[in-house]
Structure 1
Amino acid sequence: MKHVPIVVLDFGSQYTQIIARKLRESGVYSEIVPYSESIEDIMARTPKGIILSGGPASVYAEDSYHPDATVFELGLPILGICYGMQLISQHFGGSVIPADHHEYGKAKLDFKKENPIFKDTTDGQIVWMSHGDKVENIPAGFEQIATSENSPYAAIANTDRNVYAFQFHPEVYHSDEGSKLLKNFAKHICGCESTWNMGSFAKEQINKIKKQVGDKKVLCGVSGGVDSSVVATLLAEAIGDQLVPVFVDNGLLRANERPQVEAMFKARGVPLITVDASEQFLTKLEGVTDPETKRKIIGETFIEVFDTEAKKHDGIEFLAQGTLYTDVIESVSVKGPSKTIKSHHNVGGLPDWMTFELIEPLREIFKDEVRLLGLELGLPRDMIGRHPFPGPGLAIRVMGDVNSPDLEILRKADTIMLDVLHATGYYDKTWQAFTVLLNVKSVGVMGDNRTYDNTVCVRIVEATDGMTATFAYIPHDILETISRRIINEVDGINRVVYDISSKPPATIEWE
């Protein structure tokens, strides 16, 4: 097991993953493990520090999560965040009670004592609170080091034990200097060094792939998106012509995507195999309206297509996928008690009847890290800068039944929106942009005639890693151009709406 400087114990917070990402940004590698991880497995990672994440429960609830108490006796620096703070207080003899005034949102952090965890940060900084319980009495040996309006113990510390705790969430965007606080814990309290970067990660993964594959072959599903392109390039670096890259046209692609993908790989000298399985996918999706069922059907069909193609080649024993950390997090609670959001077609392993071994070199990194890895591997910026496109494709952007006429309407609308964003420079300023066919009809007027046609929703968001996102503030004249062109140029559409939801509570995709 490799050395992990900071281990994050997950108690179910939707923010847990951001803690790991913020630490990595500072050059300190971290991994998330379930709160129930054994002490032996934790120590096998040879950590220099441990962070206890937030969580939705009360420490006194019957179903609350508690780690092995030995974790507090390892002699390692510990930082508890929100629920983690309450666990620390409870374990060391303090008391936790329901708060009279719940704190949800921004609060001003007032320092009460100098501490290395506050090094080079500002007294009075804004932090993000999200809690119902609070510490009433701190344990013996701990001291108050910061307060907020409703939290007399916004931050506490026992410097002799090297145990620290925050009532607020330093990892979220709204905590102005939260990244510095996490960096201070890792570097100045745990003594970690900034050795984590995409150059070292690339070398590590290439060596790992060589060792795992040996003289066998790897089937790699590619889509032309950032993730699969980076995986294919990484594999090509590691095993050369032992790579068998396969592009599946599932009938759910955007306009002109297939020739664009083929041209892109041809330009890089990669012998891409294209499989047209559009009829197979669309037949299986006929009449299916439930989003989760759509995703599962698509995932299973991809596996079937890959299995059929693999049988045409000798020596294939591995299947490579561009699974990301965010895919894993949203699909299944593999890291702890975090709630399942939705399944992803490339998460969850392979069916029992398949004999392939999975290779997922991006499984523990975030989208922005994948882009940096792609640049490290020499991929062109226009490829690296492509917006994310979901594995299930346009199937989850057509509400309800998936059929060829609706897909064609959606492709036309999507092409117009992307053309406008490219022309105005907003494509490169945003994280993801797409249209959704709502299959909701409304009355309109065109040329003095009454219409009763469909509605398209435009969704454009800003994000860093996809774990959280805000809707993009696109100038009204640009939105007006998108709307006017879609209504005028796409038959069957008479209304365009703009989605102003953020994630959370919404997800980026509609399904």
Structure 2
Amino acid sequence: MRNTSSRILILDCGSQFTQLIARRVREARVYSEIHPPTQSLEWIRAWNPTGIVLSGGPSSVTDEGAPTVSRELLDIAPVLGVCYGMQLIAHLEGGAVVGGGRREYGRAEVVVDEPSGLFAGFDQGERTTVWMSHGDHVEQVPPGYVATAHSGSTCAGFRHEQKPIYAIQFHSEVHHTVRGAEIIQNFLFGVCHCTPDWTPGHFIDQEVAKIRALVGDRQVICGLSGGVDSSVAAALVHKAIGDQLTCIFVDTGLLRLHEREQVERTMGQHLGMKLITVRAEDRFLTALAGVGEPERKRKIIGEHFIRVFESASEEAGKNAAFLVQGTLYPDVIESVSAKGGPSATIKTHHNVGGLPKDMKFGLIEPLRELFKDEVRNVGRELGLPEEMVGRHPFPGPGLAIRVLGEVSPYALDILRRADAIYLEEIRAAGLYPEIWQAFAVFLPVRSVGVMGDGRTYEHVIALRAVTSTDGMTADWYAFPHDVLGRISNRIINEVDGVNRVVYDISSKPPATIEWE
């Protein structure tokens, strides 16, 4: 449990936007966590929330098995119901929720009937643009409640006359709701009276104390990849316990061009951490031979990763008791479905679901509650260089999930060279800081081409670049056409075995950022 003066508990009823609620709360410097509505009242009371948010969701409140909560929950702390959460409150409190007839999807205009509470700072009768996504609606507010906003003839908001219980039919957490951030902040500070103390410095102080208490005088190893997550995790643990930490960097054979040399230079020489490099390319590539299914690849990599660490720690004579990993909150959410909630599991992350059950290490995951931008800010607070903190995310399984299908040394070599050209041209164009993540993908198909006077039948490289704030949602990046043209031309001419380059213009959702 996080030792902050204020904390918001978000109960996930299955909405695709639940993670955005957590983001918006944290952007207001208030700590938040997402949990399923199945948590017991005893657990919720022990968690001691300053406020509770009931998220949206795809169900109807009258459906069998629909997410629900005890009515007693409404007396534990101030409550905000969003979309389905509003309908759930109405249902629990004796209001009328009906389906059909007044469906609203996309942008809508809401009229403020009561410019106080959630709508403090608004004008009486003000019209404001919001994002709706509902089929059911509240036909009649419950006894003891009053409407605070409407959209056409539909109730768009209500509150309890005496208790701090509020609800809105629209999604204040999405950026399409023009004044959504104000509404959330009105709940946090006007209703819940939160203290905005969720800052990088505060987080570091708490984690350092927590790590020292956990570790004592024992030794710790860190699975260092050179990416932002593991680097920040290593720096944070190093601040806490110094030379009790040994970083182990495993060259899996699945790294980008010159990755090993860069890690050794930055972490070992620049930051002064104890660093052991293990060359294990043959082991990983042998284990992956003939395996094309993405989840199998992740599991294999996760298991061998741990075995290599165990061997390396024994050889180093450290007898390490703990393993540090750079697991982030989106990894946890995507892998375990919002800690057991109704949202669908997207994919297993190798540093969350790929670890063997008989692993001898205790896990230290100091970033497990953070989103990516929060991790970058913690890194800056720790004094890490910007070229490291600002680096694009790189997946734990490495290039194995960017070679679609079976992984081979031949495919990896093509992908490395294509990816290096891609990133080099992005940097040369000054676009790298604008892009959340950019990478090349080796496709398991060949296409016909012409080079010189001859026919070719060679491989296809896909390029992916997205903008995002936390990796939970993402839009494809609109490259200037001349930059894309230059990248394609260089890859086809400089990388033997490639005769076609394509650009991925899918957003998340429905696609994920990585292809596997």
TM-score (ref. length: structure 1)? 0.97
Deviation per residue, 1:425-461 (Å, 9 max, x gap)? 1111110000111122222222132222111111000
Counterparts of 1:77-88 in structure 2 under 5 Å? 77-88=78-89
How far, CA to CA, are the matches of 2:151 and 2:462 in structure 1? 41
What is the DSSP-based 3-state SS (H/G/I as helix, E as strand, rest coil) of the residue aligned with 1:153?
strand
Deviation per residue, 1:305-349 (Å, 9 max, x gap)? 111112222341111100000000111122522210000000038
Cα deviation for residue 176 of structure 1 reads: 2.2
How far, CA to CA, are the matches of 1:78 and 1:321 in structure 2? 35
What is the DSSP-based 3-state SS (H/G/I as helix, E as strand, rest coil) of the residue aligned with 2:426?
helix
Determine whether 1:262 maps to 2:264: yes
Check conservation: 1:15, 1:172, Cα contact below 8 A.
Answer: yes
Match of residue 320 from structure 1: 324
What is the DSSP-based 3-state SS (H/G/I as helix, E as strand, rest coil) of the residue aligned with 2:433?
coil
Determine whether 1:346 maps to 2:351: yes
How far, CA to CA, are the matches of 1:350 and 1:440 in structure 2? 32
Q: Percent of pairs identical after alignment?
A: 55
Deviation per residue, 1:28-55 (Å, 9 max, x gap)? 1112222011222212222221111112
**Unaligned 5+ residue runs, structure 2?**
none
Counterparts of 1:297-376 in structure 2 under 5 Å? 297-312=300-315, 313-333=317-337, 334-348=339-353, 350-376=355-381
Counterpart among 424, 437, 442 of residue 442 in structure 2: 437
Match of residue 426 from structure 1: 431
How far, CA to CA, are the matches of 2:130 and 2:305 in structure 1? 44
Determine whether 1:57 maps to 2:62: no
How far, CA to CA, are the matches of 2:128 and 2:265 in structure 1? 51
Counterparts of 1:496-507 in structure 2 under 5 Å? 496-507=501-512
What is the DSSP-based 3-state SS (H/G/I as helix, E as strand, rest coil) of the residue aligned with 2:297?
helix
Aligned AA (1:375)? R
How far, CA to CA, are the matches of 1:175 and 1:293 in structure 2? 41
Check conservation: 1:329, 1:335, Cα contact below 8 A.
Answer: no
Check conservation: 1:6, 1:50, Cα contact below 8 A.
Answer: yes
Match of residue 155 from structure 1: 157
Aligned AA (1:401)? E
Counterpart among 484, 503, 510 of residue 489 in structure 2: 484
What is the DSSP-based 3-state SS (H/G/I as helix, E as strand, rest coil) of the residue aligned with 1:275?
strand
How far, CA to CA, are the matches of 2:414 and 2:143 in structure 1? 66
Aligned AA (1:112)? D
Deviation per residue, 1:209-237 (Å, 9 max, x gap)? 00000000111001111111111111111
Note closer, same or farther for the CA distance 1:357–1:489 as it changes in structure 2 (3 Å cut): same
Aligned AA (1:493)? V
Counterpart among 125, 134, 146 of residue 149 in structure 2: 146
Deviation per residue, 1:358-383 (Å, 9 max, x gap)? 10000011000000000010111111
Aligned AA (1:314)? K
Determine whether 1:449 maps to 2:446: no
Identify the range of structure 1 (235-244 vs 120-129) with the bigger mean alpha-carbon deviation: 120-129
Check conservation: 2:116, 2:122, Cα contact below 8 A.
Answer: no
Cα deviation for residue 296 of structure 1 reads: 1.0
Check conservation: 2:115, 2:121, Cα contact below 8 A.
Answer: no
Aligned AA (2:42)? E
How far, CA to CA, are the matches of 1:426 and 1:460 in structure 2? 11
Check conservation: 1:36, 1:68, Cα contact below 8 A.
Answer: no
Counterparts of 1:122-201 in structure 2 under 5 Å? 123-149=126-152, 152-201=154-203
What is the DSSP-based 3-state SS (H/G/I as helix, E as strand, rest coil) of the residue aligned with 1:104?
strand
Cα deviation for residue 68 of structure 1 reads: 2.4
Cα deviation for residue 97 of structure 1 reads: 1.5
Match of residue 11 from structure 1: 13
Note closer, same or farther for the CA distance 1:124–1:170 as it changes in structure 2 (3 Å cut): same
Aligned AA (1:118)? F
Counterpart among 251, 261, 279 of residue 249 in structure 1: 251
Determine whether 1:284 maps to 2:282: no
Match of residue 499 from structure 2: 494
Note closer, same or farther for the CA distance 1:456–1:238 as it changes in structure 2 (3 Å cut): same
Match of residue 112 from structure 2: 111
Check conservation: 2:243, 2:274, Cα contact below 8 A.
Answer: no
Q: CA RMSD in A?
A: 1.5
How far, CA to CA, are the matches of 1:445 and 1:133 in structure 2? 57
Match of residue 223 from structure 2: 221
Aligned AA (2:404)? M
How far, CA to CA, are the matches of 1:360 and 1:87 in structure 2? 35
How many equivalent pairs are there? 509
How far, CA to CA, are the matches of 2:319 and 2:441 in structure 1? 42
Q: Which aligned runs of 4 or more in structure 1 are off by greater than 6 angstroms? A: none
Cα deviation for residue 255 of structure 1 reads: 0.6
